[in-house]
Structure 1
Amino acid sequence: MKKWFPALLFSLCVSGESSAWNNIVFYSLGDVNSYQGGNVVITQRPQFITSWRPGIATVTWNQCNGPEFADGSWAYYREYIAWVVFPKKVMTKNGYPLFIEVHNKGS
């Protein structure tokens, strides 16, 4: 169930509108402070914490602009099922900002 459930949620998100597939935006967050590990603490609600070992960490965020999910932004971890609201600002617990890259799948 862990493997196919995110795919089911994703397909439900993009179904219902023919242009929904072109409105998917892919976000990637990565901390470039490679000298130490740390935690990402999301201060907006709902709150969650994810940790990484020393090195560069990357998290992929997906946004679906479908009719029912116009304001919804969600995160998917390959090791866990974790759908959460995309935060406006992400900082490490030591106060370092995380860089955001935006990739648009649409044409």
Structure 2
Amino acid sequence: MKHVICNLAEVPAEGEARVFPFFGREVQVWRRGDRIRAAANTCLHLGGPLECKDGAFVCPWHGARFDMADGRHMDGPAPANARLMFLPTRIEGEELVYVWEEPS
């Protein structure tokens, strides 16, 4: 299964993120070095939205922070070993595409 998340021109500069709709939910999309990443826009504490601040994703509800590099919980309320859910993606032409259960 494949699903276009966004056009590459819509991905913000490194250090910033942008929210895109994704099957009735939202994903955060950002650049990290040469990679473009996508993760569910959901705090692992109580499911709130995330905001990109100072190189981390921060939940405005209670202040949980997650690292943009690997999604790990940095501080604030959330399970200590929690990690954001990254989506499997690839670039096809000028689009960032979600890919799932494709044959190798």
Alignment TM class, shorter chain as reference = under 0.3
The two structures have a TM-score, normalised by structure 2, of 0.26
More helix by share: 1
- Greater RCO, CA 8 A, separation 6+: 1
More strand by share: 2
